Amino acid sequence: MTAFADSTGAAVDADGIDAEAALEHKERVGSVGEADAAAALGADYDCLVEATPTTLGDAHPGFEHVEAALERDRHVVLANKGPVAERYDDVMALADAGAGEVRFEATVGGAIPVIATIEGMDPSHVTAARGVLNGTANFVLSRMAAEGLGYEHVLAEAQDLGVAEADPTFDVDGTDAALKCAILANVLHGGGYSLDDVDVQGIRDVPSSALELAAEDGRTVRLIGEVTADGDVRVGPRLVTEHDTLAVTGTQNIVQLETTNAGRLNISGRGAGGPETASAVLADVGRLPER
Amino acid sequence: MTAFADSTGAAVDADGIDAEAALEHKERVGSVGEADAAAALGADYDCLVEATPTTLGDAHPGFEHVEAALERDRHVVLANKGPVAERYDDVMALADAGAGEVRFEATVGGAIPVIATIEGMDPSHVTAARGVLNGTANFVLSRMAAEGLGYEHVLAEAQDLGVAEADPTFDVDGTDAALKCAILANVLHGGGYSLDDVDVQGIRDVPSSALELAAEDGRTVRLIGEVTADGDVRVGPRLVTEHDTLAVTGTQNIVQLETTNAGRLNISGRGAGGPETASAVLADVGRLPER
């Protein structure tokens, strides 16, 4: 690691940065180093890991970070969904124009290797994808069903447990799952999708009575995101049978891929978390060609 | 495709073989072409796809085919389990000595990308693996549990359906699953394992009364293969809860990977079949570096 930035500062050293020391500096001073955060972008590196928070629309400033790296023929690994959900075509045009590659396994399904699996099968052999892509919403729905509790109660509990953020809007309104679906649609169809193309419905309005009715029928409700065989992209609460493969519990994520030659593939695991995201980022770094 | 061999003949043409024509030739004459089967090994090619039947011990003749290709600095993609289950260290020594790479996704879990997923996480970050790796045994156990029928009855039914072979020994005695576990152990531990290192028990002796007793307790029996964190490898019938992720039904396969940074990953899908195997082989071909 030759450069390491947070929102207020950066450590830059072409001879390598000691991660422990940088983190200790952040603990003590509030930033990972004394340099200007922007200085990290000009550093000497082979691969930029872009992990600033996801933003919508122009995906600023993540997009500009990606742009700066690709224009210098550097590789980019994204943990930030914005650039590939909202500006996929722009990102790929920049990558095509230079020698750098862009990878983004960490943006969909946390540690689950969804993108690599699609890539391995060849996107043209994957006809549809669906799954549970937001752990917070899934935690809320599974707790509501298991305990017969209302949405507001379970959400507050999830916030206490650190499973839901103080502002859970992105998760419970389906925006986070929709961004992931836009990314999957871009991978399956070679681009063309952004959040605007996703039909999104969240879980705020799912009453506990609906979960009770579903349970009487051996079913439950999950927030399912999908890219259909027709290329439609949607996210919303759906009825699934109680022991369906899609009915993962807690903060688990699952992705189902429909393939032309290998039937249905299911991949499930932890969809979020620091180590999980780091694991996906490092897997992507390992897949990059030598510069 | 520049060469294409079956057990009795081969088609060899450096300008490319028409697959349809070769298959039609096989239908009509009994072999894919007029050339000697051995001639295919001397052909001009970049990658050898070794798909002869799995044999134990010295893995003959698959091993020699792999050896011939690697000694010519050609890549090898295996659908045949023998060379990587029984002679992994020999195969890797040959690969290390030359410019060819060896891949073998199709040997474990059919279309499920198990090997690629382990590779992506880095084998050193995968501490254990377990799963249902034989569709025939799983079909028999799930039918026995669902219908309350005996082993012999369900096996005969599976043979009628083409799910079990006329000689199902490899499947029901656990040998096939054990070979797959030896391959997984080799990948996780960098070699050193063969069938002899696997503690194997099959499903022949599972009485339907055991499945009934298990069901009364909300459980069922599956033939589970595992590579433990201690490096032990074993295959045998195990009790699992009825709706456990491992309790896949019919001919499905599932693999669970325990990882240091990403918790547990589950991958399930079709574990066998022609198109599924071909899909895994082609995915491997796509992962090879240019020669």
Q: How far apart are CA B30 and CA B34, in angstroms?
A: 10
Residue pLDDT, tens place only, A107-148: 999 989 999 999 988 999 999 999 999 999 999 999 999 999
Residue pLDDT, tens place only, A146-203: 999 999 999 999 999 999 999 999 999 999 999 999 999 999 999 999 999 999 999 9
The C-alpha of B236 sits at a distance from chain A's nearest C-alpha, in angstroms, of 24
Q: Could you state, in order of their start, the residue ranges of all structural domains in chain B?
A: 3-112+275-287, 121-270
Residue pLDDT, tens place only, B88-128: 999 999 999 999 999 999 999 998 999 999 998 899 999 99
What percent of chain A shows pLDDT beyond 70?
A: 100
Q: Which listed CATH number (3.40.640.10, 3.30.930.10, 3.30.360.10, 3.30.1330.10) goes with A114-270? A: 3.30.360.10
* Res A51 pLDDT > 90: yes
* Res A245 pLDDT > 80: yes
- CB contacts of B283 in chain A (<8 Å) are 120-122
State the residue for tokens 């690697």: B70
pLDDT confidence of residue B289: 87
CATH superfamily name and code, A3-112+275-287: NAD(P)-binding Rossmann-like Domain (3.40.50.720)
B279 and A245 in contact by Cβ < 8 A? no
pLDDT confidence of residue A15: 92
Say which DSSP state A42 is in: G
Q: Determine how β-strand A102-103 pairs with β-strand A75-78.
A: parallel
- CB contacts of B276 in chain A (<8 Å) are 261-263
Residue type, A147: E
Q: State in Å, rounded, how far the first CA of chain B is from the last one.
A: 16
Query: In the structure, what pLDDT confidence band is assigned to residue B272 with cuts at 50, 70 and 90?
Result: confident
pLDDT confidence of residue A290: 79
* Res B212 pLDDT > 90: yes
pLDDT confidence of residue A283: 93
* Res A62 pLDDT > 90: yes
Sign of CA dihedral B175, B176, B177, B183: positive
pLDDT confidence of residue A111: 87
What percent of chain A shows pLDDT beyond 90?
A: 92
- CB contacts of A120 in chain B (<8 Å) are 113, 116, 283, 286-287
The CATH class given to the B121-270 domain equals alpha beta
Q: Which two tokens stand for residue A203?
A: 């879980």
Partner A contacted by B117 (CB < 8 A): yes
Q: Which helix (H) or strand (E) holds B248?
A: none
- The alpha carbon of residue B104 and the mean position of all alpha carbons in its chain are separated, in whole angstroms, by 8
pLDDT confidence of residue B37: 84
B286 and A245 in contact by Cβ < 8 A? no
Residue pLDDT, tens place only, B232-247: 999 999 999 999 999 9
Residue pLDDT, tens place only, B134-172: 999 999 999 999 999 999 999 999 999 999 999 999 999
* Res A47 pLDDT > 90: yes
User: Mean of the pLDDT values across residues A226-251?
Assistant: 96
B110 and A243 in contact by Cβ < 8 A? no
Query: Taking CA B131 as the corner, what is the angle to CA A227 and CA A250, rounded to the nearest 5 degrees?
Result: 50
pLDDT confidence of residue A187: 98
Residue type, B10: A
Cβ distance A220 to A242 under 8 Å? yes
Cβ distance A166 to A274 under 8 Å? no
Chains A, B: CB contacts within 8 A come to 98
Partner A contacted by B267 (CB < 8 A): yes
Q: Of A105, A268, A276, which to mutate for an interface test with B (greatest number of B Cβ within 10 Å)?
A: A268
- Rg of chain A over Cα atoms, rounded to whole angstroms, equals 20
pLDDT confidence of residue B39: 87
Q: How far apart are CA A17 and CA B205, in angstroms?
A: 60
ipTM: 0.92
Q: How far apart are CA B34 and CA A38, in angstroms?
A: 67
- CB contacts of A279 in chain B (<8 Å) are 121, 125, 259, 261-262
Q: How far apart are CA A133 and CA A271, in angstroms?
A: 7
* Res A291 pLDDT > 80: no
User: Mean of the pLDDT values across residues A237-246?
Assistant: 96
State the residue for tokens 């650190």: A162
Q: Which helix (H) or strand (E) holds B83?
A: helix B82-86
Q: How far apart are CA B18 and CA A219, in angstroms?
A: 50
pLDDT confidence of residue B111: 87
